């Protein structure tokens, strides 16, 4: 299995991964609530950052 830590995802791919709407992912990125960066005017997401963000969100809910 290839190493996906440095994999860069598009907004559409993140929406599918999170089973969320594209507008929701866009809003979270714009507000800085999800780790993202812009490349040429479009949002991009690093898979490893998303994995850490998801884990932190789960820990936060359990606390």
Please say if the pLDDT value at position 5 is more than 70.
no
Q: For 5-45, give the DSSP string.
A: TT-EEEHHHHHHHHT--HHHHHHHHHHTSS--EEETTEEEE
- Per residue in 26-56, pLDDT tens? 999 999 999 999 999 999 999 999 999 999 9
**Residue 17 has what pLDDT?**
96
CATH topology of domain 8-62: Multidrug-efflux Transporter Regulator; Chain: A; Domain 2 (1.10.1660)
pLDDT score for 61: 78
**Residue ranges per structural domain of the chain:** 8-62
Return the closest-CA partner of residue 50 out of 23, 10, 2: 10
Mean pLDDT value across residues 53-60: 92
- At residue 1 the predicted structure's pLDDT band, cuts being 50, 70 and 90, is very low
Please say whether the beta carbons of 58 and 51 come within 8 A: no
Q: Give the global pTM.
A: 0.85
Beta partners for residue 46, in sequence order: 8
């Amino acid at each position: 299995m290839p190493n996906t830590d440095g994999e860069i995802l598009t907004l559409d791919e993140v929406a599918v991964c999170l089973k969320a709407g594209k507008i929701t992912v866009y809003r979270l990125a714009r507000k800085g609530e999800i780790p993202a960066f812009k490349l040429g005017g479009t949002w991009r997401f690093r898979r490893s950052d998303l994995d850490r963000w998801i884990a932190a969100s789960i820990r936060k809910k359990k606390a």
